[in-house]
Amino acid sequence: MQTLNYHIDEQQVRVLASIDGKEISLPALWLRERCQDTENVDKTTKHRLFDPHQLDTDLALTRVEKKSELRASLTFSDGYSGEYDLSEFNADFDHLDGAPAPRPWKSDIDKSVFHVDYHSLHSDKGLIAGIEKFLTYGVIIVDNVPQNLDATIEVAEIFGHVRETNFGKSFEVYSRPNSSDLAYRSVPLGPHTDNPYRDPMPGIQLLHCLQNQAGEGLSTLVDSLSVLEQLKKEQPEGYKMLSEVPVRFRHFDSEVDLVERRTIIESDATGKVTGIAYSPRLDNLPLLNDGDLITFHNARKRLGQLLSSPEFEWKFCLQPGQLQMFHNTRVLHGRTGFDPNKGLRHLHGAYIDYDAPKGRYKLLKQKMSGQ
């Protein structure tokens, strides 16, 4: 956790921020845009009532006055003067935006950290704990979920809003010969990202086990953040190419033909790696010169090997009444093959966007702390 302090320098007319011991002077334009009075900022929505894009670039601070430890009065060269609560700036320096830091994991992790009880999610305290686990590890296993289709949607809506696709508001996974997606067959499925051909990709997938009479078809999960750490050590040039060179993903059926181009290694706007878009059944090797093509392919090949390595991949039997919820691009999922003649394996799935549980977590934390 970073240390953050502020200092008002009245003599040199500056506002200073100290971040982990490194001191920076906050620019006048940056401060002016963040004015906090009700004439300029709506009290309820926190939306601005002015257009800061039109501020002059040569703005300067003309006077600063410390009011208390975290309050100051600031006056600017355009004539504006207002009081500031400096703690309002804290969010600007929080690169996690109030969320817990992700913890990469391997298959030897204590799996109890993933489990939450369905009934606990109906209280604010239990929901905060569940979301915190999810944001930390990229996956939770919800136990004691009622074994019906409505329960899948109920859990999805506890965390966010259901994302409807061409597969519907939800989808049922069981063996169907000649289906338009291999997920609806009994063949094994290696670790993969769902819907990399869609923009945006679904952020979160839920899979609820209703029946598993086959005794086979083990679920698999693997944290791509741990795998990517290893790949970067082994093949830095290939890792860089997977981060920069887009590939083409495609899905088509009788109703739609979806195509999207994206890099295999995914990053957010700050450059922080968030996961991967990976599905060997749906991607196409990009056209590169011979040397780059070999580098790219070797990195992609090694990535697939690591994703299926026992060191990283967790295999388990998802039991009836259990629901796995995972970050679609961080924690890849798969399934071992099974014999549908031995009994029904029936899962019910849905998608939600990733931003919803993050937003609910932050709001619930504020509510619980009385802010």
pLDDT digits (tens, 9 = 90+) for 191-250: 999 999 999 999 999 999 998 876 677 999 999 999 999 999 999 999 999 999 999 999
SS3 content of the chain, % helix, strand, coil (to 5): 30, 30, 40
Orientation of helix 124-137 relative to helix 149-159, angle to 10°? 80
List the domain range (segments joined by +) for residue 49: 4-93
89 plus 143 within the same structural domain: no
Residue 143's pLDDT band, with cuts at 50, 70 and 90, is: very high
358 plus 210 within the same structural domain: yes
Task: Say if residue 180's pLDDT is above 70.
Answer: no
Q: What is the pLDDT of residue 368?
A: 86
Q: Please indicate whether residue 35 or residue 214 has the higher confidence score (pLDDT).
A: 35
72 plus 119 within the same structural domain: no
Task: Please provide the average confidence, as pLDDT, over all residues in the chain.
Answer: 93
63 plus 188 within the same structural domain: no
SS3 233: helix
Q: Going by C-beta distance under 8 Å and a sequence separation of 6 or more, which residues neighbour residue 137?
A: 102, 103, 105, 113, 114, 223, 331
Digit-coded pLDDT (tens) for 296-311: 999 999 999 999 999 9
232 plus 350 within the same structural domain: yes
Place of tokens 């996690």: 96
Is residue 369, in this structure, part of any structural domain at all? no
pTM: 0.91
40 plus 119 within the same structural domain: no
Q: What is the pLDDT of residue 354?
A: 95
Distance CA 352, CA 298 (A): 33
160 plus 53 within the same structural domain: no
84 plus 175 within the same structural domain: no
238 plus 341 within the same structural domain: yes
Residue 176's pLDDT band, with cuts at 50, 70 and 90, is: very low
Write the CATH number for 33: 3.30.2020.30
257 plus 332 within the same structural domain: yes
Is residue 325, in this structure, part of any structural domain at all? yes
Picking from 64, 93, 122, the residue at the C-terminal end of a domain is 93
Please choose, from the candidates 107, 172, 161, the residue with its C-alpha nearest in 3D space to the C-alpha of residue 307.
107
Q: What is the pLDDT of residue 217?
A: 79
SS3 111: helix
Radius of gyration of the chain (CA): 25
Is residue 167, in this structure, part of any structural domain at all? yes
How many domains is the chain built from? 2
In order of 287, 296, 309, the CA distances from 303 in angstroms are 19, 11, 10
Return the structure tokens found at 369: 């702390």
- Rounded average pLDDT over 58-64: 98
169 plus 84 within the same structural domain: no
Is residue 100, in this structure, part of any structural domain at all? no
Is residue 241, in this structure, part of any structural domain at all? yes
Residue 341's pLDDT band, with cuts at 50, 70 and 90, is: confident
Is residue 163, in this structure, part of any structural domain at all? yes
334 plus 221 within the same structural domain: yes
Task: Say if residue 58's pLDDT is above 60.
Answer: yes
Picking from 93, 124, 140, the residue at the C-terminal end of a domain is 93
Task: Say if residue 361's pLDDT is above 70.
Answer: yes
> Within 87-222, where are the H helices?
124-137, 149-159
